[in-house]
Amino acid sequence: MKQEIEILKQENECQRGASNVMLRKINAFIVCESKASEVEACQQKLREEERLVADLSAELQLQEATVKQLREQADSQPTAPTGEMDEAVKVVDDLKRRLVDAEEEKQKALGQL
């Protein structure tokens, strides 16, 4: 009888140990899933920022070409109004600032990965 009780105690300890191991595995899985979700969110943010940078770069190139064309027109026609060119220059400057901001956000997203 005493031996049976000892065996039951040992079995109980083994089952507790197995339960603890299983709980650790479950906790590790939850942590991994959480980290995977964070990485996925960071990767999505990075893709969005890369797209924004590409869009702003393309728009900036177009606007810079417009400014160049307006400057050439202004040079060939000294009496031409410069308001349109001034506005185009402002747009280019704004795009440059937005591009710098987007690049910074992209770098932040990269840093979070």
Q: Tell me the pLDDT tens digit for each residue of 39-73.
A: 888 899 889 989 989 999 999 999 889 888 888 87
Instruction: Read off the pTM.
Output: 0.61
The secondary structure of 6-34 as a DSSP string is HHHHHHHHHHHHHHHHHHHHHHHHHHHHH
Residues whose CB is less than 8 angstroms from the CB of residue 71 and which lie 6 or more positions away in sequence, other chains included: 85
pLDDT digits (tens, 9 = 90+) for 5-28: 888 888 888 888 888 889 899 989
Question: Could you identify the residue written with the tokens 């995977």?
Answer: 36
pLDDT digits (tens, 9 = 90+) for 69-95: 888 877 777 665 667 778 888 888 888
Question: Mutual orientation of helices 2-76 and 83-112 as an angle, nearest 10°?
Answer: 160
CA torsion, ordered 21, 26, 32, 35, to nearest 10 deg? -130
